[in-house]
Amino acid sequence: MKHLFVILAACLAAFPAFAKVAAPPFTEAVLPIGSDLYAVAIGPGGPGKEFGSDATNGGLYKITSGGAKIEIPLSDGQGLRNPTGLTEIDGQIFMVDGNQILSVSPDGTVTWRVTLKEEGVFLYDVEILNETTLIVSDFGRGVFVSVAAGSGKVQPYLPDVQIKGLARFEIAESGIFAVSWGADDAWDSALHLVSNSANGAKATMLTDGFGNLESVEVIDGQVVVGGYRGHKAFPNTKLMHVARDGTVKPLGTAAATKGVSDMYFAGSSVWLTYFYDAAFERLPARTLLSAE
């Protein structure tokens, strides 16, 4: 635990709160490791050109405390196409990229790369279930899969659950909070709670009316969602708090951005990734939650 606090303290010192930092174009998510941040970006082609593409324009980057953006070449030479999510266990980075899952060291050494060959697969987010198991969301098929951190072996996870447009998710004590992406001209994105019991797993829609939700995070016990077109009642907000009864309230934080693609909460800080703005920002959790 002491080691964790040392790593977190180093990262907080390197990236002070309220400091918006430039990121590579179309960065989907950032992850603090030690005094640096790591980021995945889908490349210069951007949305509409890169999603579903075989061109290796995507990349894994290290962003230093001085703001340098260093692309990390991968040792297997295969590159990245559409990386959208990353996490880490003991310094080892795990990424999802289209229909692939990768285990990579911070210097770019690829431990394993697994390809899912089923039709329609598009992997979106990756989270830690425990020290040996990752959970991955499959946007294309609307399902979850589990992945062995050591070998990359993929298995179905909660196979009875299917959420159309499944994007990012967060594992919490009460279940999995997951957001779904909807049509670009409708208010049909939603927040779901996936629960598992002796009677089986099920997904319950907690509330809808959002426009193009992409991210969700549980921050100090509070559920926060982020996206690109807000909510039908708050169309100009990009970040919203969702109460346990489904009530939605806008958060003033991130109002000036074009959208929040990812959130990462650690210690007392939240990192927000601004996809179209090619930037990220670290905020104190209490500041973000009080910005209603």
Residue 239 burial (10 A CB sphere; 0-12, 13-18, 19+) = buried
DSSP run (H or E) holding 287: helix 285-289
Highest mean pLDDT among 13-22, 122-131, 244-253, 280-289: 122-131
Would the pLDDT of 48 be above 70? no
62-66 CB contacts, 8 Å cutoff, 24+ apart: 62/36, 62/37, 62/38, 62/106, 63/21, 63/23, 63/30, 63/36, 63/37, 63/38, 63/39, 64/35, 64/36, 65/14, 65/15, 65/35, 65/36
Q: For 84-126, write each residue's pLDDT tens digit.
A: 999 999 999 999 999 999 999 999 999 999 999 999 999 999 9
Question: Using 50, 70 and 90 to split pLDDT, how confident is the model at 70?
Answer: very high
Instruction: Break the chain into its structural domains and give their ranges.
Output: 1-157, 164-292
The pLDDT assigned to 63 comes to: 94
Higher pLDDT among residues 185 and 8, named by residue:
185
Chain-centroid distance, C-alpha 168: 6
The pLDDT assigned to 18 comes to: 63
Which of 31-45, 47-61, 141-155, 180-194 has the weakest average pLDDT? 47-61
Q: What is the mean pLDDT of residues 252-268?
A: 88
Paired tokens of 284: 């104190």
C-alpha to C-alpha distance for 291 and 144, rounded to whole angstroms: 33
Q: For 212-254, write each residue's pLDDT tens digit.
A: 999 999 999 999 999 999 999 999 899 999 998 999 999 987 6
Q: For 168-222, write each residue's pLDDT tens digit.
A: 999 999 999 999 999 999 999 999 999 987 778 899 999 999 999 999 999 999 9
Decide whether 1-157 matches 164-292 in CATH topology.
Answer: yes
Would the pLDDT of 14 be above 70? no
Would the pLDDT of 37 be above 50? yes
Paired tokens of 201: 């797993």
CATH number of the 164-292 domain: 2.120.10.30
Phi then psi for 4, rounded to 5 degrees?
Answer: -60, -45
C-alpha to C-alpha distance for 32 and 11, rounded to whole angstroms: 6
Q: What is the mean pLDDT of the chain?
A: 90
Would the pLDDT of 2 be above 50? no
The pLDDT assigned to 3 comes to: 38
* Dihedral, 209, 212, 215, 216 alpha carbons, nearest 10: 10
The CATH number corresponding to 1-157 among 1.10.510.10, 3.20.20.210, 3.40.640.10, 2.120.10.30 equals: 2.120.10.30
Question: Using 50, 70 and 90 to split pLDDT, how confident is the model at 53?
Answer: low
